[in-house]
Amino acid sequence: MTSPYETLAARIDARFGEQMQRVASSCRELTYELDKDDLIAVATALRNESHFGFEMLVDVCGVDYLDYGSDEWTTNSATGTGFSRGVERASVILDEADEFDARRFAVVYHLLSIQNNLRLRLRVYTGTSNPPIVRSVVDIWNGANWFEREAFDLYGILFEGHPDLRRILTDYGFIGHPFRKDFPLMGNVEVSYDADEGRVVYKPVSIEPRTLVPRVIRDDNRYSADLKDGNGDG
Amino acid sequence: MAEIQSYTMNFGPQHPAAHGVLRLVLEIEGETIQKADPHVGLLHRATEKLAESKPFNQSIGYMDRLDYVSMMCNEHGYVMAIEKLLGLEVPTRAQYIRVMFDEMTRVLNHLMWLGAHGLDIGAMTMFLYCFREREDLMDCYEAVSGTRMHATYYRPGGVYRDLPETMPKYAESRFRSKKELDGMNSVREGSMLDFIEDFTVRFPACVDEYETLLTDNRIWKQRTVNIAVVSPERAMQLGFTGPMLRGSGVEWDLRKKQPYEVYDQMDFDIPVGVNGDCYDRYLVRVEEMRQSNRIMKQCIDWLRDNPGPVIADDHKIAPPTRVEMKDDMESLIHHFKLFTEGYCVPEGEAYAAIEHPKGEFGVYIVSDGANKPYRVKIRAPGFAHLSAMSEMVEGHMLADVVAVIGTQDIVFGEVDR
């Protein structure tokens, strides 16, 4: 196959070798994983070397792989308990652990080359440290500034070398990182106006969380094996 | 002489020119901006987290509410990402319908932008003119989906239903005469395609009208020429897309460069600016409206001649018709499963980007094989543009901040998500 993407993949393999690991994808997209220590060197090369020419960083986002592949409702055997009653809510794991699973948090970069009309995705796992930390790419692509602030705000991932790492989307004085999988969907606090005190007060959430549609993973044979990630390479 | 010190001023979040809920903390010396620090997130609804807790189809409606002036384009990005993961083919007619509505949405968005931008920097009439044309397009939204704004019309596999054969008409009222009423309803006698065709015939003259008011207007030029100049290198470095990038002279349009749906069949041009200032970005957007009009016309011609299905035939993804469900057990089961549990999407990840009226709107979905997405990330063009606000207004006057907010075409639904 000599699609532009295969050519790019061959170039990346030749230039970076072991530094970048290709992830098989079903959607005609190129994804590479790399070690967080190599990030700056690889990113600089990808932007500056003309046969890569990724002059634009389209997106940076955090991903939390805590519950990846777990479902709420076992469908292997029929149950007598009905649909939503069968939901088992995952126990809350506090983020006070000293170490995280090495593949829990990842930062995903989407690159775009305007001169070569190519896209590339990079994924960097943050490793075991708590808080998770990676190097900032703001010096390479200035547009990364707010995207990294967002990943910090929502996932608590620190970016070393970021000029202004403040919260961006959540409220002033917000506690926690709301997009982590162990942060409840409806949050921890609710606000209301207290007429006696004459100000807005924060209280713990009073409503019970509920699941309307359980999360289900079916090993469906509708999809051929080569459609699944990890088996095909085209 | 006393030394003048710079001071800090708060702008918004409740300011009519702040386009919603932008709060800017400005560092000003005299009336010159030294630094602007936008505080966003006042409209943050955690759309992405909500999407993680719902079956795929139930989040389409959330997408409308992101950029609430270009609703269907947001849906498009989302359903395209799902289709990519499923490996789903969309019927050609549905692709044409999508392209037509994408372009209609682009006109809607640019009209809103032109009206608001004009209003912000002193051209009151524009707002009224633009909303007059917007109304017709909103009627098309309503005719096809039942709502004027939050349509939820695009579905994975196609669009929810085919174009209607009739347009809704104005009703009699004591405020209009019979003659007036007949005049208003005269373009609504035929099908929806007839109505849109009539619009595409009328619209270029309307754009001429806007241009008469603005393009050579001395005040308009004083407010926009050489304001917030961005060089092409900086624009790419800052992650600009769409008209913001093209205004700086970079010829980059996903509809041409990475065509999706049937854009490769369409005949249209990409306008590109020269100086990268607010005036060039204005010219680019106005020309884009004309080009969108051209694309809409081509879609209408094709859609008239080619009837066919508008949604994929796979009932694991798209619901069966009502008629089928009446006497077919399997259809009934499909319907039930689809609306209770949804469908499982194979494990993997996909990024689908479309040329949104504001720039590149991308949706990145990570799926672990469940009936709900594992992670949805929405790449909103406005977010990248607003992050460059400080750089764009530096050295300009306070009044130019408003011009820059206008030229960036900021909508907080998508910036805050």
pLDDT single digits (tens) A146-157: 999 999 999 989
**C-alpha pair distances (Å), B131 with each of A127, B38, B127, B228, B292:** 53, 29, 6, 27, 18
- Cα–Cα nearest to A191, from A182, A183, A199: A199
**C-alpha pair distances (Å), B337 with each of A81, B62, B371, B402:** 18, 22, 11, 50
State the pLDDT at residue A75.
52
Report the sign of the C-alpha dihedral through residues B325, B326, B329, B335, in that order: positive
Question: Both tokens of residue A131?
Answer: 């808080």
State the pLDDT at residue A96.
65
State the pLDDT at residue B74.
92
State the pLDDT at residue B373.
92
Cα B49 to Cα A192: distance, rounded to the nearest angstrom: 23
| Closest approach of A69 to chain B, Cα-based (Å) | 5
State the pLDDT at residue B279.
92
pTM equals 0.88
| Cβ–Cβ gap B348/A143 under 8 Å | no
Read off the amino acid at residue A53.
Answer: G
| Closest approach of B111 to chain A, Cα-based (Å) | 26
Q: Which residue has the higher pLDDT, A146 or A98?
A: A146
Question: Both tokens of residue B399?
Answer: 């009044």
From the list B44, B364, B374, the residue facing A169 with the nearest CB is B44
Beta strand pairing call for A31-34 and A118-125: parallel
Average pLDDT across chain A, whole number: 80
pLDDT single digits (tens) A191-221: 899 999 999 888 888 887 777 888 888 766 4
pLDDT band at A84 (very low <50, low <70, confident <90, very high): very low
In a mutagenesis test of the B interface, which of A142, A152, A186, A211 is the best target, namely the one with the most B β-carbons within 10 Å? A142
Kind and range of the H or E element at B24? strand B23-29
pLDDT single digits (tens) A108-123: 999 999 888 889 999 9
| Cβ–Cβ gap A178/B49 under 8 Å | yes
Contacts of B371 in chain A (CB under 8 A): 213, 215-218
Asked if the model's pLDDT at residue A129 lies above 60, the reply is yes
Compute, in degrees rounded to 10, the torsion defined by CA atoms B247, B248, B251, B255: -40
ipTM metric: 0.87
- Please name every residue paired with A61 in a beta bridge, in sequence order, or none if there are none: A108
| Cβ–Cβ gap A58/B48 under 8 Å | no
Q: Got the DSSP string for B236-287?
A: HHTT--THHHHTTT----HHHHS--TTGGG--------SS-SHHHHHHHHHH
Question: Both tokens of residue B182?
Answer: 């007949």
| Cβ–Cβ gap A26/B348 under 8 Å | yes
State the pLDDT at residue B81.
93
Q: Which of residues 195-234 of A touch B (CB under 8 A)?
A: 211-213, 215-220, 222-223, 227-230
**Mean pLDDT within A163-170:** 89
pLDDT tens-place values along chain B, 417 residues long: 667 678 888 887 877 777 778 888 988 888 889 889 999 888 899 999 999 989 999 999 999 999 889 999 999 999 999 999 888 889 999 999 999 999 999 999 999 999 989 888 888 888 899 998 999 999 999 999 888 889 899 999 999 988 998 888 888 888 888 888 888 888 888 889 999 999 999 999 999 999 998 888 898 998 899 888 999 999 999 999 999 999 998 989 999 888 988 999 899 999 999 988 999 999 999 999 999 999 999 999 999 999 989 998 888 888 898 888 899 999 999 999 899 888 888 888 999 999 999 999 999 999 988 889 999 999 999 999 999 998 999 889 888 888 898 898 888 888 988
Percent of chain A clearing pLDDT 70 (strictly above): 81
A182 touches chain B (CB under 8 A): no
Q: Which residue has the higher pLDDT, A88 or B18?
A: B18
State the pLDDT at residue B189.
87
| Cβ–Cβ gap B417/A169 under 8 Å | yes
How many residue pairs from chains A and B have C-beta atoms closer than 8 A?
Answer: 141
Q: Which residue has the higher pLDDT, A106 or A6?
A: A106
From the list B55, B377, B384, the residue facing A213 with the nearest CB is B55
| Cβ–Cβ gap B46/A178 under 8 Å | yes
pLDDT band at A2 (very low <50, low <70, confident <90, very high): low
| Cβ–Cβ gap B364/A117 under 8 Å | no
State the pLDDT at residue B347.
86
Cα B354 to Cα B360: distance, rounded to the nearest angstrom: 6
Q: What is the largest CA-CA distance in chain A?
A: 72
Q: Under 8 Å CB-to-CB from B202, ≥6 apart: which residues?
A: none
Q: Which of residues 140-159 of A touch B (CB under 8 A)?
A: 141-147, 150
A121 touches chain B (CB under 8 A): yes
If one counts every other C-beta atom within 10 angstroms of the C-beta of residue A230, the result is 12
Kind and range of the H or E element at B9? strand B7-11
